[in-house]
Amino acid sequence: MNIKWTVEDKQFIRTNAHRMKDKEIASELEARSGRRVSVGAVRKLRQRMGIIKKGGRGVCELRN
């Protein structure tokens, strides 16, 4: 099922990607909207928005 992302969802991802894991973002968006949001959907949208994270377990920093 395709998710219709709102402007608020995108802004939340943009402002919190540097300090939260994709899993935490998905949980927060799920709680806010009341709909199912997967980690993969958050990751794919974040990457399409051009927000690339550094690799590594537990790392929440963005790559320059």
Q: For the segment 1-48, what is each residue's pLDDT rounded down to a tens digit?
A: 577 899 999 999 999 999 999 999 999 999 999 999 999 999 999 999
Its domain, for residue 23, covers 1-64
Number of independent structural domains in the chain? 1
pTM of this structure: 0.86
Residues in the chain: 64
pLDDT at 62: 76
28 Cβ partners below 8 Å, 6+ apart?
12, 16, 20
19 Cβ partners below 8 Å, 6+ apart?
60
